[in-house]
Structure 1
Amino acid sequence: MTTLSEYEKDILQQPDALRDQLNYPLPAELHQLDLHRYDRIVLAGMGSSDYALIPIERALIARGLPVWRIDAGRLLDMPDLITANTLLWMTSQSGMSGEVVKLLDIITKPLTLISVTNDITSTLAQRADILVELRSGDEATVSAKSYLNTLVASYRILAALTGEAEQPLTDKVAAHLNNIAERVSQQAQIQPIVTPFFLRTQPRLAMIGIGADAATAMTGALITKESSKVSAEGFIGGEFRHGPMETSGKQMTALLFGNGSEPTLIQLAEDLQRNGTHVVTVGPRAYAGSELLETPDDELLRLVCAMLFVQHLTVALARGNGMVPGEFLYGKKITVTL
């Protein structure tokens, strides 16, 4: 019998972690902010904490607001983006990432700092004007439950900031927790992806997402590298055609994330299948008749459930690669080195 790694144990704990996030009351101050009083809104984080903000960036831009989503490393290179009239929404699961801590040391304090973190004793938490807790509990290695909690917390914050009722959102996720728990224990669905992957002489893995689902593609590629030591690349929409398309073909598996209706990914799925690429859609409907790992249609539930498939894939890839899933070889859970 295979012994579960710490990463796999974290994956199994995700329904309980989500429940803790849903039961956590958001700070009342979020409802009192007027987004139009700021000259800009800057969303910042590192790695999956940055990618989880892609749907938020899109939603705020759709409301006509001046929004920058930028990873904390790039923001550290151009801190003048933060003005005295900025709303800075910074996410860090640890609250102690090197770039985040350094950035907080050098920037002139923005008008308002919303800090989203799992550690209320961290530097990010201590500097907050408004602190939002992830409530994902301890996490041993690669981000799993902390990422899902970041997604749900971010959508809750968005609702509060834009004056929408939060209850329908939390009720929707709560009603789906049993289904999420079932999906957490269903690893077999990804085996048809993993088996042919390791039969190739030069296997390649691409994850391509569009719209809000770009968050899954980018985070998925990141945690695949971390947890399985298999090289994977993440792309947003049409990026893949601009160079990476030349790496596709019979040696590649391409996972497409979206709702199944976007013309960009429909055409891409057709072209990839034509050149022999193994194409798998992760979403409610398949792109161009490709294989389907089915998720709910609702945007947030789709992002949550798609990530569960990705997590199972990373575990299976790690096992196939002779690695302990989620075990770090060179890094640590909290990256403090700049």
Structure 2
Amino acid sequence: MPFSPSPYELDINDQIVALDAQLSYSLPAQLSALDLGSYDRIVLTGMGSSDYTALPIERDLLARGYPVWRIDAGRLLDFPQLITSSTLLWVTSQSGMSGEVVSLLAQLTGQRQPKTLIGVTNDEESTLARAADILVALKSGSEATVSSKSYINTLVVQYRIALALLGEDEAPLLAALRTFREPMAHLIANQAAVQQLVDQAFDNGEPRLALVGIGADGATAMTGALILKEACKVMAEGYLSGEFRHGPLETSGPGMLALLMGDGSDGTLQVLAKDLRANGTTVVTLGPQAYADSQLLASEGQHELLRLISGILHIQHFTVSIARARGLVPGQFLYGKKITVTL
């Protein structure tokens, strides 16, 4: 019996329209005028997937020698001294109304008032939008439940802002994203490979899921685990690089589905994939090439950002297939809400 698509699935299908809106949006000119060398530090903050989208930016800026802290807004409330009057504070909140972000903004007075506040949000009338010195809009449109199109647009915006701050031309990136529209549509429509994996995973009871990402792909691992919990109510955990070996490895073996994410060149995930396959774990690679002959859900395009978008699209298929297998409406909240305002 066919299912009627849930609001979450309709949002997934609307992701190309949302991306087009972002690509048609011009960034504020003030971004290019900022001198990163004039700040004592750059603080990247947000909650949940808004925080994780900054992970690739943190890596890039650190590699260039800038003093960068990526710290979620909840923890930043405990370390307000990290913000000084010479700080570039880059706050991301898809709603612009997350409880931790609103509380943080209320504390930005006196010596805690940053030199510049960049606000990234979808709601241009939100608390974050009103507080920002430079407002960057996501242009992802309304979203019913679990983040899908807003996450992809946030990823794109973070890369665009970074290029503007570094004085680099964004035209090649925008061209790559426009070329990516057709492969992206194919990825959104093609759920068959993921459905087969989910069917196999449920043959022996409900699966355990581990998502391990290395480098920029850590953003996909962390966000993927988050939306799996939200959209299909399974216990999925995200790990960065070698974290999985420090304890969680003992939970692997038959019944675990491990999703490994990277550019295919890293030896750490190559060895991990080999060890996991040897102990009976089902291993799947999300990326350009498989680790240790595991099953591959291929990414599209050469740019790092396109790989990250491809990865999250595959994981969205997992959220829908697993929810259906468990008799749930994909993306439907049972206890929480779209905007988390409670601290």
TM-score range with shorter-chain normalisation? Answer: over 0.9
Q: Does 1:115 align with 2:119?
A: yes
1:193 aligns with: 197
2:278 aligns with: 274
2:212 aligns with: 208
1:114-153 pair list within 5 angstroms:
114-153=118-157
2:196 and 2:239 mapped to 1: Cα distance?
23
Q: Does 1:174 align with 2:181?
A: no
Deviation of residue 192 (structure 1)? Answer: 2.4
SS of equivalent residue, structure 2 residue 136:
strand
SS of equivalent residue, structure 1 residue 199:
helix
Q: Does 1:321 align with 2:326?
A: yes
TM-score, normalised via structure 2 length? 0.97
SS of equivalent residue, structure 2 residue 203:
coil
Q: Is there any run of 5+ residues in structure 2 with no aligned partner, and where? A: none
1:262 aligns with: 266
Deviation of residue 215 (structure 1)? Answer: 0.2
User: Kindly, what percent of the aligned residue pairs are identical?
Assistant: 62
Deviation of residue 199 (structure 1)? Answer: 1.7
Q: Which amino acid aligns with 1:252?
A: M
1:217 and 1:64 mapped to 2: Cα distance?
26
Deviation of residue 175 (structure 1)? Answer: 1.1
Deviation of residue 103 (structure 1)? Answer: 0.4
Q: Is there any run of 5+ residues in structure 1 with no aligned partner, and where? A: none
1:21 aligns with: 22
2:238 and 2:17 mapped to 1: Cα distance?
29
Of the three residues 294, 304, 324, the one matched with 1:299 is 304
1:30-179 pair list within 5 angstroms:
30-107=31-108, 108-179=112-183
2:183 and 2:276 mapped to 1: Cα distance?
32
Q: Which amino acid aligns with 1:214?
A: G
1:200 and 1:69 mapped to 2: Cα distance?
40
In 2, are the aligned partners of 1:17 and 1:145 still within 8 Å (CA)? yes
RMSD between aligned residues: 0.8
Deviation of residue 77 (structure 1)? Answer: 1.1
In 2, are the aligned partners of 1:230 and 1:321 still within 8 Å (CA)? no
Shift >2 Å, 4+ stretches: 200-203
SS of equivalent residue, structure 1 residue 328:
coil
SS of equivalent residue, structure 2 residue 205:
coil
SS of equivalent residue, structure 1 residue 198:
helix
2:117 and 2:195 mapped to 1: Cα distance?
44
Deviation of residue 334 (structure 1)? Answer: 0.1
1:9 and 1:201 mapped to 2: Cα distance?
29
TM-score, normalised via structure 1 length? 0.99
SS of equivalent residue, structure 1 residue 42:
strand
> What are the Cα deviations for residues 63-121 of structure 1, in whole angstroms up to 9, with x where unaligned?
10000000000001111110010000000000000000000001322000000000010
> What are the Cα deviations for residues 4-40 of structure 1, in whole angstroms up to 9, with x where unaligned?
0000000000001000000000000000000010000
1:178 and 1:110 mapped to 2: Cα distance?
42
1:178 and 1:273 mapped to 2: Cα distance?
33
User: How many residue pairs end up in the alignment?
Assistant: 338
